[in-house]
Chain A
């Protein structure tokens, strides 16, 4: 395996920790709420995450993990509340905020008719990644898709698509990485790959949010944790205590 953090750079920094302005949180959200018609998918969520810290989002299906990540990544506009990313207002300075973040989502963002390499290259070209060819090659090798890089995504299994999404995250290597259910559809080596990618991001001083329902596994990756239930924050505290809280919560449901 090639070494991680330096294989791809964010557009802003060439290496090392992002220049964090002292005291400005990477993520700051107040009173977040999202309504889909007659249903509040999320309500009264406050969050604060310092740069370089990592956060585990735990919750059952439908607890609001995905919605929260969509809101924090500016993919979806919140119905209520406000978000600041690195001190940038997610509504007014949305473009500047987006330049510093990436979201690995269920949708995965691939074009089926393009090859894995073309998909990654397309993302590189749109964000002006330096030396895109090398970055794409290294990312593909890292996620174990080097031999399938020139096959169209249409032919990929669910696990391979997840790996490709991880490769896209590696190419972007953002200051703030949000990763939604990374373990879905992956095999054992895929689990290890996710863990190593998150470890690389953390080692490089990036801020990471991981959502999963695999409590124990997620807890090993992160510093802090938030447990969501019914679209609200049920508990927050150190990541190592989160699995216990989550399991206790499950017993009530």
Chain B
């Protein structure tokens, strides 16, 4: 399969997934609302101390996003398992790499949008400060979303057709993305609370490193997950 053909297939699949997300936007709304709820629950759990809340704004935001992300990721392969659609794609034939890239990019974009939706809430609830500008924070969001989306897409495919998929997806994904959580929370926190030591750069590099490793692994291994 030529590179141009791959790109065209990846774009076609991404477009289809965006259309499906749009049609199922009631579900996306519910997931976003679930993220909002988790942020609220964190506030209740730590009590009314405003300073603690501000200190942990980045942490809560990323935990909320991570909890919502499994729901969004699982949905992206539920539609492929339904009616054996993924088998239909394989037989067309759709290249496995194109399929991975198409789906993972849409999942990453979806998580990114979810993160952006949660950000104003973090400002309101936790008093998170955006002095460093929304741009750098959005950059960290994008890198973190990509880090969760690559292994998340792969594991959503792994678990899409087995029993106990609801528990297995987070069970496999959460420990794997520990570095993403660490780096993203640190970077977000530093951007919100100030970065006297200039450490944001290192955390961003760690995110980039994780993204590179797992986007490559996902591209290489996806074919083995979807073929039967």
Contacts and interface: CB of A to CB of B under 8 A. Distances in A.
| Touch A–B, Cβ below 8 Å | yes
Interface of A: 73-77, 94-95, 98-99, 101-103, 105-114, 118, 122-123, 125-128, 152
Given A110-B83, A112-B83, A126-B9, A74 B91 contact: yes
A105 B90 CA distance: 13
A207 to B, nearest CB: 16
B92 interface: yes
B76 to A, nearest CB: 12
Interface string B211-228: 000000000000000011
A107 B12 contact: no
Interface in B84-118: 84-85, 87-95
B91 A101 contact: yes
Given A108-B88, A111-B79, A123-B88, 12 more contacts: A73-B91, A75-B87, A95-B1, A98-B92, A103-B91, A105-B87, A111-B20, A112-B82, A113-B23, A113-B24, A114-B23, A125-B12
Q: Which of B1, B79, B93 has the most CB of A within 10 A?
A: B93
A120 B56 CA distance: 49
Interface of B: 1, 5, 8-9, 12-13, 16, 19-20, 23-24, 79, 82-85, 87-95, 227-228
A172 to B, nearest CB: 8
Contacts of B85: 107, 109-111
Contact of B94 (A102, A112, A126): A126
Contacts of B13: 126
B57 to A, nearest CB: 36
A109 B93 contact: no
Nearest to B86: A109
B84 A109 contact: yes
Contacts of A126: 9, 12-13, 89, 92, 94
Given A105-B84, A107-B84, A112-B83, A77 B228 contact: yes
Contacts of B19: 114, 118
Nearest to A109: B88
A74 B8 CA distance: 23
Contacts of A128: 5, 8
B20 A102 contact: no
Contact of A108 (B16, B84, B93, B228): B84
B23 A98 contact: no
B20 A113 contact: yes
B83 A75 contact: no
Nearest to A98: B93
A123 B1 CA distance: 17
A86 B82 CA distance: 31
> Top 4 nearest A-B pairs by Cβ distance?
A107-B84, A109-B88, A98-B93, A113-B23
Contacts of B94: 126
Given A107-B88, A112-B83, A113-B79, A99 B93 contact: yes
Contacts of A99: 93
Contacts of B95: 95
A112 B84 CA distance: 11
Contacts of B24: 113
A175 to B, nearest CB: 13
Contacts of B5: 128
B83 A109 contact: yes
